[in-house]
Amino acid sequence: MKGSLWFGFVLVLSLAGASARADDKPVEDTEPVEREAIIEETSVGEAVAETAAPGWTYPKAYASRPLTMNKFMIRGTFSVNTKRAIIDRNTGAQASRPLVSIDLGAAFSIMDNLEVGVSNYRLGSTPANAAQGMFPIVVSPVGAFGDMPLYVRYSFLRKNYVEMAADFVLLVPSWTNLAATFGLPVRIRARRPLTVDTGTELVVLSNGAGLNVEVPVKATFNITAAGFIFGDSGFSFQNLARNITGGSYFDTSLAFPVARNQVFVPLGIGGGYTHVVKNIVMIDVFARFGWNPFVYLNPPSGVNALPAADSWVLSVGAIIHTSPILHESDL
């Protein structure tokens, strides 16, 4: 009998303790959790968390920027691109002079997650292709007008450490061939001053009804809020199930045509510096040098196959952002 009383007494105490712990738990859960802005969470120190200007919350640090600009922002791009190895359209052999183009582009953000433009530059995508833009001017090997890539980007996921968007690009040709690109860019903030851009791009080719698949990988590191360096690589699957051989020079950023079903690995490095003018204009000055391709995973054969060492590409330019303050009052 005494054992039963002691057992009952211990059981009551145990239930009372469990009830007390259950009562304490909701109090902890209901405490407010303060979350800093995405700019703050993906930066190191005040320097990298710095915004473009007072009242302009767009990140100054390149690695902290979202895949789409803030509402009503405008971006202009200017670049000079040089490709060492290209194919002469008339002879089919390597041209004696490189392809050199001066490309001007523009983009506008209708909403915080919707961006449109005519430009060969999109944040987090494959490196910009030469002879593409709103005003793409080819100056070598012959004078010509390039292609106009019209694009729409919609950002549908923006978390603290990852962003995803969807791209559609229609290449209106006057220099090469009609093509359409469907992209899924992904921006990962691996560590606070470091961003890794990846994703997938499907390029539908009208000339020969082919498909290119691009899987870019780019890492950007902000040394300070103004200075940044980057390196890019990835995989490039060319001329998949295509009806004709060659022609990739006319469709992608590759330096020369290839056979069907080729796999390349590009490689590039670069860096830049950001400067804000009068709190309303932000300018990124940059340079990139790389090889496209750097390595063949399955070397092509034929007279049009050029050494990868000759496929270098050099780009220098500027990216100009304008504050929404410039046009918020008008829209």
Is the pLDDT confidence value at 295 over 80?
yes
Kindly give, in sequence order, each residue whose CB lies less than 8 Å from that of residue 143, ignoring residues fewer than 6 positions away: none
State residue 35's pLDDT score: 33
Please tell me which residue, 257 or 85, carries the higher pLDDT value.
Answer: 85
Is the pLDDT confidence value at 33 over 50?
no
State residue 138's pLDDT score: 93
Kindly give, in sequence order, each residue whose CB lies less than 8 Å from that of residue 157, ignoring residues fewer than 6 positions away: 163, 164, 165
CA 93 to chain centre: 33
Query: What kind and span of H or E run contains 94?
Result: none
Band of pLDDT at residue 177, cut at 50, 70 and 90? confident
Q: Token pair of 111, please?
A: 């909403």
Q: Where are the alpha helices (DSSP H) in 170-242?
A: none
Give the residue among 128, 133, 157, 160 at the shortest CA–CA distance from 145: 133
State residue 306's pLDDT score: 66
Q: What is the pLDDT of residues 192-249, one digit of tens each?
A: 789 999 999 999 988 777 889 999 999 999 999 999 999 999 999 988 877 777 665 6
Q: Is the dihedral of CA 178, 119, 233, 114 positive or negative?
A: negative
Measured CA to CA, the distance from residue 110 to residue 112 in angstroms comes to: 7
Q: What is the pLDDT of residues 245-266, one digit of tens each?
A: 766 566 666 666 667 888 889 9
User: How far, CA to CA in Å, does 53 sit from each of 49, 50, 221, 280?
Assistant: 12, 8, 21, 7
How large is the average pLDDT for residues 100-106?
Answer: 97
Band of pLDDT at residue 6, cut at 50, 70 and 90? very low
* pTM, full prediction: 0.82
State residue 75's pLDDT score: 98
How large is the average pLDDT for residues 294-306?
Answer: 69
Q: Token pair of 223, please?
A: 């040394």
Q: Token pair of 254, please?
A: 């590759």
Q: Identify whether 266 is preceded by a cis peptide bond (ω within 30 of 0).
A: no
Please tell me which residue, 86 or 110, carries the higher pLDDT value.
Answer: 110
Measured CA to CA, the distance from residue 79 to residue 286 in angstroms comes to: 9
State residue 12's pLDDT score: 38
- Mean pLDDT lowest for which of 79-88, 112-121, 136-145, 266-275? 79-88
Measured CA to CA, the distance from residue 185 to residue 165 in angstroms comes to: 6
Measured CA to CA, the distance from residue 114 to residue 328 in angstroms comes to: 16
Measured CA to CA, the distance from residue 228 to residue 128 in angstroms comes to: 18
User: How far, CA to CA in Å, does 117 sit from each of 203, 228, 287?
Assistant: 18, 25, 22
